[in-house]
Chains A and B, each alone.
Chain A
Amino acid sequence: MTPDIGQLALIFALLMAVYQAILPMVSSFKGFQAGIATARYLASGQFIFLCISFACLTYAFLTDDFSVKYVASTSNLSLPVLYKISGVWGAHEGSLLLWALILSLWTVAVCLFSRDLPAVYLARVISVMGFISVGFLIFLLALSNPFEKLPFTPADGRSLNPLLQDPGLAIHPPMLYMGYVGFCVAFAFAISALISGKIDALWVRWVRPWTNIAWCFLTIGITLGSWWAYYELGWGGWWFWDPVENASLLPWLVGTALIHSLAVTEKRGAFKSWTVLLAISSFSLSLLGTFLVRSGVLTSVHAFATDPSRGLYILCFLIIVVGTSFLLYAWRSPSLKSESGFHFISRETGLLVNNIFLVTIAACVLLGTLYPLILDALDAGKISVGPPYFNAVIVPIALGMFAVMAIGFSLRWKNDSFSRIFKRIRILLVFALIAGLVLPSLWLSSYNVYSSIGLTLASLIALVAVTTIYQQKKSYSQISGSVWGASIAHIGMAITIAGISITAVYSHEKDIRLSYGENYEMAGYSFKLIDVTQHAEKNYQASTGLVEVFQKGQLIAQMKPEKRVYDIQNNPMTEAAIDAGFFRDLFVALGEPLGASSWSLRIYHKPFIRWIWLGALLMALGAAIAVADRRYRKTAART
């Protein structure tokens, strides 16, 4: 019964979305006021129906309704309640429903917070979002129905993939989708701007907070994913250049460019058509990511169960949405004239260069991700592109970008001079060089050029951002949210860069064989395997090791790496033990038993790895603080 209600609600949501896509848009051209006013009601209606639908699916999971095919294939009687809930979005169909729900949530949020937007404009924005929703709801109902029934009801389900049975991963997809789908708002505003042929400072003030929030969620989502891969996959790495990871990085990179380009458009009325292009591109890349993950065109550890008809559908949808947008862009963008020029040495130039760097990195990531597909399509052979390509190509470009980032943040709008900049940063540069060149040679075991450059630039970025706050010569409460946000985000980036620079170069890892009572020395730590014991848990069997870690003879940690075999899917899973610290992580993963009383172990020493995620969270925080800037609220009050 409940699944039927869910299915019916989904159909009603689709009907609402169809009206939402057509009626307000058509009315906005005809000047039909009643039609324009329907936008927010249709959006709310769609949201309510999707909530009902989502609630029904969740209910089916909680009550173990295995007559529903999706529940039977992703849940199981013995699954803990938390994972029954996160199981709702644990596979293709349900995650798509979550996607549609979040899109609808964003639409309703736009309605609520944009009451002062001209009605015609709002109608068009809501219509565009409705159109996207129609695409996804048809996809859900026709090709990925989460409410599809089985001809017979199995006694028990197949269970959630054990990799996904993890609290971090329970919230990773919702965060990621909030980010992906959030770029739809900027996209819808960009399309509306192209239709009306006009972009002014007010438009930018509408778009900036939405873009920031979306970017904030995407940053958190990617960070969670990276953290999860680190502790759950048991490989000890934090980024694998996997196609699906890249698919989330692409909209992030272009979204970052968009945030910076919007700043120029707001303050200086420049880069207008470029800003619109970035807004379209960041959402298009979100859609492309969806295509790559769900069509099976690339191999990835993350890929969903694939079905060619789904791939074909998303590709067609991609062609309609992105193709139309770019066509509209080609037709209308000449009407978006920039209002002001700028000198060569100015913040505008800095941000332009930043944009070029970001887009170049995005292009390189895209090329690397699609290269196997392109070669295969040209019948030129099967290859896979891995970390060596990405590291070789991305690292030098990124270092260039960081250099511009440090200097650019201290540049003034419109016109600046080298001599002023030099005066501004010369002392900071000295400190940065000490931090990057001198300290590593004192602290760290060996010297590495890339690491040193990374640390120098990270220090410079952080110092410039900190002194920017200080140089405002205002009390802290008077400094605008934008300045706080930007500074904090830049400090966050600096922390991430510092973390990467050290972790990537100075980590130790070792595959070893230890008998009970035997120990192994690495990076000043002594790892001693005490024993490995077997025990059974609710839905898996586990072997748990006990490893004691000594530093200078002192016991500093007892680590319990685990190897699990889940009952239903019979997959072995590695639960690494991590002794986390601000300056270093120790990481122990259990390998295979080698005889009666010895095991193979993989041990890592990862200095500064926490900084990568800590910095990323600061970036997200910065974006959120910038949203709270008074001027966005002032706009609302004035109009």
Chain B
Amino acid sequence: MLKRFIPLLIFIGLVAFLAIGLSLDPKKVPSPLINKPAPALNLPQLFNESELVTNSDMLGEVWLLNVWASWCAACRAEHQVLNAFSNNHHVPLIGLNYKDSRANAKQWLSDLGNPYQKIAFDMDGIAGINWGVYGVPETFVIDQQGVIRYKQIGPLNDEILEKTIIPLINKLQKAAS
């Protein structure tokens, strides 16, 4: 007579998986680039068109690469977090302006403030492809040897910074010294 309980049991099993599934994010795919050397940037700067941004500029330092665009709504929310971060921490924060126009990007920064030391301008999204960018904003942590240590998909917030990124930066800096 267990037969009539079968639908209920199947359903309970299904619900268990759905409940676990709720706490997971299907969009979070681990990046294959973690612990691999960062792909080359070699892009013109946003403000200074004749100058390039290259990875070797930052060699020997722990640095962050933040992918953003003026058309990206989530970037707007993230921007205040980045402004605060760059005021309080002296880690190079490099921007990668992704599939944007120079005018829009500059306007955006003059409205909201510029937390970046340098900004690479990637109109065609070529560097974006090499870095595996698929959701803007994204943030990478790169160590002194130019190896990607962490990738954040979606906007940064204070919690992620405090709990993950800043401890990671401290750890990487200590390991070197």
Contact = CB atoms under 8 A, between A and B. Distances in A.
Interface of A: 273, 277, 280-281, 284, 288, 291, 295-299, 308, 311-312, 315, 318-319, 322-323, 326-327, 329-330, 333-334, 370, 372-374, 376-377, 382, 570
Interface of B: 1, 4-5, 7-8, 11-12, 14-15, 17-30, 71
Contacts of B1: 334
A332 to B, nearest CB: 9
A296 B19 CA distance: 12
A2 B19 CA distance: 38
B135 to A, nearest CB: 11
B22 A326 contact: no
Contacts of B17: 370, 373-374, 377
A112 B15 CA distance: 36
A323 B13 CA distance: 11
A370 B18 CA distance: 9
A323 B9 CA distance: 9
A161 to B, nearest CB: 13
A370 B22 CA distance: 12
Contact of A315 (B4, B12, B15, B29): B15
Nearest to B27: A299
Contacts of B20: 377
Contacts of A291: 18
A323 B15 CA distance: 10
Contact of B21 (A280, A284, A288, A376): A376
A276 B18 CA distance: 25
B21 A299 contact: no
Contact of A377 (B5, B21, B27): B21
Nearest to B22: A311
Given A281-B7, A370-B17, A374-B17, A382 B22 contact: no
B68 to A, nearest CB: 15
A368 to B, nearest CB: 14
A329 B8 contact: yes
Contacts of B4: 273, 329-330, 333-334
Given A284-B11, A377-B21, 7 more contacts: A291-B18, A297-B22, A311-B22, A334-B4, A376-B21, A376-B26, A377-B20
Contacts of A370: 14, 17
B11 A373 contact: no
Nearest to A297: B21
Q: Which of A284, A334, A376 has the most chain B CB atoms inside 10 A of its CB?
A: A376
Contact of A330 (B8, B21, B22): B8
Contacts of A273: 4
Decide if the interface of chain A is mainly helix, strand, loop or mixed.
helix
B19 A315 contact: yes
Contact of B22 (A284, A315, A323, A374): A315
A570 B28 CA distance: 25
A604 to B, nearest CB: 26
Contacts of A330: 4-5, 7-8
Contact of A322 (B11, B22, B23, B24): B11
A372 B5 contact: no
B26 A373 contact: yes
A373 B18 contact: yes
Contacts of A374: 17
A280 B21 CA distance: 24
Nearest to A310: B22
A296 B21 CA distance: 9
A311 B12 CA distance: 17
**Which 10 A/B pairs are nearest by Cβ-Cβ distance?**
A377-B20, A326-B8, A297-B21, A373-B21, A330-B4, A299-B26, A326-B7, A330-B5, A311-B22, A377-B17
Contacts of A315: 15, 18-19, 22
A522 B65 CA distance: 46
A513 to B, nearest CB: 18
A503 B12 CA distance: 40
B30 A382 contact: yes
Contacts of A377: 17, 20-21, 24
Contacts of A297: 18, 21-22, 24, 26
